[in-house]
Amino acid sequence: MDSQNVLLGRKQHTKRDKSAKSLKNNWDLYLLILPVLIYFIIFCYWPMYGVLIAFKDFNPVQGVMGSPWVGFKHFINFFKSPYFLQLLSNTLGISIYQLIVGFPAPIILALMMNEIGNKFFKKSAQTITYAPHFISTVVMVGMLTVFLAPDTGLINLIIKAFGGESIPFLIRPEWFKTIYVFSDIWQSTGWSSIIYMAALSNIDQEMYEAATVDGANKWAKLRYITLPCLIPTAIILLILNVGSLMGVGFEKVFLMQNDLNMEASDVISTYVYRRGIQGAQYSFSAAVGLFNSVVNSILLVTVNKICKKAGDTSLW
């Protein structure tokens, strides 16, 4: 027993010596990363104590620690709320729709770009597809309002030109998810394809040359070389996307939202805004936000574990 304690003590001493030596030899690198660590501690970790207000009846005068403790009262009120199922349905509906339709889009675009031989045309196509990413959300929603206007919008003018009737897209609840998802695909697909383009550029060209010698055509190369090399990158991004499944962006939904499409556009983030900021119900909105974050964390860990067991590719 004594010998085991001695060995354990020596190992710990050796680890401390290695850590001290590493700190001494690489002090400049540690100094370089210090501002980043300070930033995350101050702005990301330190404010996390504020999550306590989800379990209290928060009063700004009494402060976080002085407000009375109420436990899971606000969570229970949210689960019993008549809006709960609608909010959950809208949030998951938009997220899953976006994941199913939008996730393959950058992969397909990257594969198409990879097949372009003309460098000038390829660079021009890349620039055109990247450009929408830099359009602000406010401008994007403004463009949607103009293009989808019932009387003067380009889309409705085309519909009427073919003998159809004008459709008030932005006030129809059944159109909200489709407009939200496809406008997001148009705006983000080009930019999201960059990481897949980088993965494609790292594929060993000798594999393609060997496949050509063996008589493989483009489809065979795509199936047996390109796609298998893209799968690890796609899995990592899929895990990250699923981990934010409940995190439908507030800004775009809020700008597209109106009284007539509320039944399809009201999501958790807009509900938190109304109850927390406009209604000054800070504890209730904090509880809703915490519920949202916990569900995202559970999804992230679960999908990561499934992917690790299925294909040995995961975040950790």
Give 27-47 pLDDT, tens digit per residue: 888 888 899 999 999 988 888
Residue 8: pLDDT band (50, 70, 90) is: low
**In the predicted model, is pLDDT for residue 217 greater than 60?**
yes
pLDDT of amino acid 51: 85
The pair of structure tokens assigned to 140 is: 């994007």
User: Residues 240-271: pLDDT tens digits?
Assistant: 888 888 888 788 999 999 989 999 999 998 99
Question: Above pLDDT 70, what percent of the chain?
Answer: 95
How many of the other CB atoms lie within 10 Å of CB of 158?
10
pLDDT reported for residue 309: 83
Q: CATH: 3.40.50.300, 1.20.1300.10, 3.40.50.920, 1.10.3720.10. Which one for 73-311?
A: 1.10.3720.10
247 vs 174, higher pLDDT = 174
CA distance 275 to 293: 17
Give residue 175's pLDDT: 93
pLDDT confidence band for 169 (50 / 70 / 90): very high
Q: What is the pLDDT of residue 280?
A: 84
* 7 pLDDT higher than 60: no
pLDDT of residue 115 exceeding 70: yes
Predicted local distance difference test score (pLDDT) of residue 11: 59
- Domains of the chain: which residue ranges? 2-66, 73-311
The length of the chain is: 316
pLDDT at 3: 55
Separation CA 107–CA 105 (nearest Å): 5
Q: Average model confidence (pLDDT) for the chain?
A: 87
pLDDT band at 5 (very low <50, low <70, confident <90, very high): low
Res. 24 pLDDT band, cuts 50 70 90: confident
Position 253 scores a pLDDT of 92
CA distance 280 to 316: 39
What's the number of CA atoms in the CB half-sphere (13 Å) around residue 278?
7
* pLDDT computed for residue 13 by the predictor: 61
Q: Reply yes or no on whether the pLDDT at 315 is more than 80.
A: no
Question: Which range (96-110, 128-142, 180-194, 196-210) has the least confidence?
Answer: 196-210
Sequence-distant (≥ 6) Cβ neighbours of residue 184 within 8 angstroms: 98, 102, 252
Cβ atoms within 10 Å, residue 269: 20
